[in-house]
Amino acid sequence: MSSQGASHRRATGRHLVDRVSDRASGGAAFDRYLSVFRRLMPLIVVLGTLIMGGGFMALTQPGHIPDVWAHVYRVDGMLHGDVLAHPVESRSRLHGGEGNVGGHVSWQWIDYSQEHYDGYDPTVILPDTITVSDSNGADVPYNNTATNSPLVYLPQLAGFALGDALGLSAGATYYLTETITLVAYALCMALAVFLLPRWRILAALVMLFPLTIHRYSYAISADSMTQALAFLLTCMLVRATVRRVTTGYCAALAVLCVALSMCKFVYAPMSALTLLVPWVQRGLADGGPSSGTLAGASPEVATSGAHAAIGKRSVTARAASFRAQLGILASGVALSAVWLMVWMRLTGWFVTTPMLVSHAEMTARKQALLSDPSSLLAALKAIVMAIVTARSNMGRRLDSLVIGACWLMIAALLVVLVVATIRRAMPARLLVFWWGSAVVMIGILLLTYLALWLQYTPAGAGVVDGVQHRYFLPLALIGVICAAECLRAVGTSRRRLD
């Protein structure tokens, strides 16, 4: 009887061992598949962007992008030499009063916009208001896009120039330009994911989310390049918090900061996060074997003169690297600030929607913000009311729902950050970096609301008008990865406690 029991116990033990072995081999196989999947993620993202973006492009009629005709006019105006806008007397449905600025636009684009106008985009020109024209084109208003620099339109400028060189029609050039924009956007997304040491799948989900990729992966718009560079900068920053980076990498970060500042100036504060990179890198150097320290060495070796000299040289090298990285990144931030001051000086003499808020009214509002506490309180109240009520441009229901969801997710992000801070779930340097990211993200959105209060919201309105969900999209990736890093750190700290 005892021999039968022993035999049964041995059989049961072998069965348990086999089950554990099967689970281990199955887990190892899953890890291998996941590793391959992660390595292929840049390719998946570029193909997914091209396929989904191409599908949206095919389904979207010409003119069904916010402010698209103003962007089209702006691109064509720059190709004809009007890099800086000048006063024009012609009007559009959005720019129907005095104080309009714009440039000289070809007749083919004026005619094309008229053919495809169906009431969607009010920036289309009113032909009977044209007063200055010649055989090539006419002066057209586009105040709301005249503040954008040429860099933000590089793919579109290439498309329009190629279309002119090949003698293509406006319609063919329109789709050619969207295709070039889509390819440039897809390549930026692939590079961004390639640079990520982790969260590749999560980043891909954000990039390929229909709301993210719809319109602004291919649109003739300043939002396309802005969103692409914001995502790329986010991934480069994340890499610098996890891996050691070189001074060359920091130089690339600095150049990218200047480029993003030249896209839409409201997103320029993202460049300030690069100033934290050398500090975070110092923490990585002090905590890892790559730092050159002799952690784990025997006392005899650690006290030897040769190794002490090596350690001293390593500390000196790290200090020199810190200074070099900080100098490079600070130069990028400084150049961004200089660019903003120069460009705002060149474009600060007009407003984006003079029919709603004149330049004189906008100037008076700015002065009142600095000198009249009641005006400051009124502006803050209008901004808070717009956030609380999820106010959207023209009261669009879908836009309001998305805007409200974005603010709820930002609130959830702050909760996760607080939990990670209380539990000390990650090193102080990383907590500072991610808190800085959250502050910058919220600050950019508040600046957007303030700009809309200054230049778009009619006098007497108790809530900021003109907010669109597209203003949140360039910040989506940094917000999601920030939350993921905090949740990962909190989960790891709980397992350590258990």
Q: Is the pLDDT of residue 299 over 70?
A: no
- 441 and 473 Cβ atoms separated by less than 8 Å: no
What length is written for the chain? 498
Same domain, 283 and 210: no
Q: Is the pLDDT of residue 260 over 70?
A: yes
Tell me the CB-side half-sphere exposure of residue 422, using CA atoms within 13 A. 8
Q: Is the pLDDT of residue 269 over 80?
A: yes
Q: Which pLDDT value is given to residue 292? A: 33
Same domain, 31 and 78: no
Q: Could you please report the per-residue DSSP string of 141-190? A: E-HHHHTS-GGGGHHHHHHHHHHHHHT--HHHHHHHHHHHHHHHHHHHHH
Percent of the chain clearing pLDDT 90 (strictly above): 80
Mean pLDDT in residue range 192-199:
96
Domain end residue (candidates: 319, 348, 377): 348
The 10s digit of each residue's pLDDT in 50-83 is 999 999 999 999 999 999 999 999 999 999 999 9
Percent of the chain clearing pLDDT 70 (strictly above): 88
Same domain, 376 and 254: no
**How far is residue 75's CA from residue 103's CA, in Å, rounded to a whole number?**
10
Residue 276, helix vs strand vs coil: helix
Same domain, 102 and 237: yes
Lowest mean pLDDT among 139-148, 304-313, 369-378, 473-482: 304-313
Q: Which pLDDT value is given to residue 193? A: 97
For residue 471, give the amino acid letter: Y
Start-to-end C-alpha separation, the chain: 43
Q: Which pLDDT value is given to residue 9? A: 55
Longest dimension (CA), the chain: 110
Phi, psi of 101 (to 5 degrees): -130, 160
Q: Which pLDDT value is given to residue 62? A: 95
Which one, of 211, 183, 196, 217, lies nearest residue 472 by Cα? 211
Say how many C-beta atoms besides its own lie within 10 A of residue 301's C-beta. Answer: 12
Same domain, 271 and 407: no
Tell me the CB-side half-sphere exposure of residue 460, using CA atoms within 13 A. 1
Q: Is the pLDDT of residue 313 over 70?
A: no
pLDDT band, residue 291 (cuts 50/70/90): very low
Same domain, 68 and 213: yes
Same domain, 173 and 103: yes
Q: Is the pLDDT of residue 309 over 60?
A: no
Does the predicted model carry a pTM greater than 0.85? yes
Q: Which pLDDT value is given to residue 117? A: 95
- Enter the tokens of residue 19: 């089950």
Same domain, 53 and 189: yes
Same domain, 390 and 314: no
Q: Is the pLDDT of residue 303 over 60?
A: no
Domain end residue (candidates: 297, 321, 348): 348
Distance of CA 297 to the CA centre of its chain: 45
**How far is residue 410's CA from residue 256's CA, in Å, rounded to a whole number?**
25
Domain end residue (candidates: 243, 263, 278): 243
CA-to-CA separations, 288 to 266, 284, 369, 439, 486, in angstroms, rounded = 37, 6, 49, 29, 21
The 10s digit of each residue's pLDDT in 404-420 is 999 999 999 999 999 99
Q: Is the pLDDT of residue 312 over 80?
A: no
Q: Which pLDDT value is given to residue 317? A: 77
Q: Which pLDDT value is given to residue 306? A: 46
The 10s digit of each residue's pLDDT in 327-349 is 999 999 999 999 999 999 999 99
Same domain, 34 and 49: no
Q: Which residue range forms the structural domain that includes residue 251?
A: 244-348
- Enter the tokens of residue 33: 């598949």
Render the burial of 396-417: b for 16+ CB within 10 Å, e for the rest.
Answer: eeebbebbbebeeebeebeebb
Q: Is the pLDDT of residue 488 over 70?
A: yes
Domain count of the fold of the chain: 4
Mean pLDDT in residue range 434-449:
97
Q: Which pLDDT value is given to residue 497? A: 57
Q: Is the pLDDT of residue 6 over 80?
A: no
Same domain, 206 and 228: yes
Same domain, 253 and 197: no
Q: Is the pLDDT of residue 297 over 50?
A: no
